[in-house]
Amino acid sequence: MLDNHVMTKFNYRFESDTQARIFVGVALNEGLSEKKALLNKLSKSFDVFRHE
């Protein structure tokens, strides 16, 4: 899902017995356009919080 991006941070918080929120930080090499493309891709499979 992250293509060749390096995961720099990972954390999670339980929401309930059946749900959790996952926080992932990734390294970007190409800036804002790369960020937008990755968020759009992830949004197709997950509820994504966009920290702008």
What pLDDT is stored for residue 11 in this prediction? 96
* Per-residue confidence (pLDDT) for residue 45, from 0 to 100: 93
Name the band, by pLDDT with cuts 50, 70 and 90, for residue 3: confident
Q: Domain segments of the chain: what residues?
A: 7-43
Q: Do 8 and 25 contact (CB within 8 A), yes or no?
A: yes
Q: Is 31 left (phi over 0), alpha (psi -120 to 50) or beta?
A: left
| Confidence at residue 52, expressed as pLDDT on a 0 to 100 scale | 63
Residues 11-46 pLDDT 10s: 999 989 999 999 999 999 999 999 999 999 999 998
Whole-structure pTM value: 0.74
